[in-house]
Amino acid sequence: MAVGLSPNVGPLKVWTERDGALLRLRLARPKANIVDAAMIAALQAAFDAHRSKAGILAALIDAEGPHFSFGASVEEHLAERCAAMLASLHTLLLSMIEWPQPILVAVKGQCLGGGLELALGGSLIFAASDAKLGQPEIQLGVFAPAASCLLPPRIGQAAAEDLLFSGRSIAADEALRLGLVASVSADAEAAALAYFDQHLAAKSASSLACAVTAARGAYLPEMRRRIAEVERLYLERLMQTRDANEGLAAFLAKRPPKWEHK
């Protein structure tokens, strides 16, 4: 039974179900479900509000519409705004990694850029058969800071570098082979719910919280260090280059970029 469904007046729907044991978070700005400042703030507020609630065993993030997310707001990546955007997104992702219960993510359609980084902040990703996953930032002359940290531990250095350097998207079946997603099915939400029902619903929330903390003991401080490091690289080096600013401007103007390699 679903309880506490939030009114659809913002970018995120929030409710609990399975007798309050499963926190549901649904990106609710289809079709793009852009991970912008409003979406980040809503997700952060939802995780913060439910962090200490007794009896919650897991969270599940999914999305309305045909696509999980086209990614972050390109406008918020511009030089005058990107510091605030990166700080808020990275705070959210670290909060997710530190959240005391597993976070399941169900993706479909396009799951790109900041949308894939959001998914990488979770524990397990369940993909629909039509899902396309990728980090296309390099095509705009920038790079994906959080994914640069989160992808290598999940799929290995070489596979992560392929996705980060090429900017290509991969189909769900390739994502499964790489270990990026846990399963591929016609209905990713149903697969995530089935996982919860079979593997998590009968667990003790307090014991599961200890297991999550134990499993992430070395991972969390390393991600804190690495994300801070790449955030500085992005702001202090990348955004001082001509080509990074050209790539973003070209995307917004819907024209090909003109690289000068500086």
Residue 122 pLDDT exceeds 90: yes
Are 27 and 15 contacting, i.e. CB atoms less than 8 angstroms apart?
no
Confidence label for 9 from pLDDT (cuts 50, 70 and 90): low
User: Tokens 């599940």 correspond to what residue?
Assistant: 60
Question: What tokens appear for 18 in the block?
Answer: 């399975």
- Give me the pLDDT at residue 1, please: 38
pLDDT given at position 76: 83
Contact 32, 69 (CB under 8 A): yes
- Find, among 53, 70, 40, the residue nearest to 4 by Cα: 53
Nearest to 252 by CA among 30, 87, 76: 76
Per-residue pLDDT, 81? 87
Asked if residue 180 is part of any domain, the answer here is yes
- 257 within domain boundaries: no
Residue 140 lies in a domain: yes
Domain tally, the chain: 1
Q: Which class for 183: exposed (0-12), middle (13-18), buried (19 or more C-beta within 10 A)? A: middle
Non-local (6+) Cβ contacts of 195 within 8 A are 104, 124, 126, 182, 183
The per-residue pLDDT of the chain, averaged, comes to 95
* pTM reported for the whole predicted model: 0.95
Residue 104 lies in a domain: yes
Tokens 């090429």 map to which residue?
Answer: 166
Sign (positive/negative) of CA torsion 31, 35, 258, 142?
negative
C-alpha span between 29 and 119 (Å, rounded): 17
Residue 181 has pLDDT above 50, yes or no: yes
44: burial class by Cβ within 10 Å (0-12, 13-18, 19+)? middle
CATH number, domain at 74?
A: 3.90.226.10
179 part of a folded domain: yes
The pLDDT > 90 percentage for the chain reads 92
Task: Extract the tokens encoding 175.
Answer: 């994502």
What is residue 197's predicted lDDT score, i.e. its pLDDT?
A: 98
φ, ψ for residue 120, nearest 5 deg: -70, -20
230 within a domain of the structure (yes/no): no
> Contact, 176 vs 121, CB < 8 A?
no
State which residues form the domain around 116: 12-206
* 229-238 average pLDDT score: 97
* pLDDT tens per residue, range 134-176: 999 999 999 999 999 999 999 999 999 999 999 999 999 999 9
Model confidence at 192, pLDDT cuts 50, 70, 90, reads: very high
Q: Is residue 161 part of a domain?
A: yes
- The tens digit of pLDDT for each residue in 44-67 reads 999 999 999 999 999 999 999 999
Whether 215 maps to a domain, the answer reads no
**What is the distance between the alpha carbons of residues 76 and 98, in angstroms, rounded to a whole number?**
25
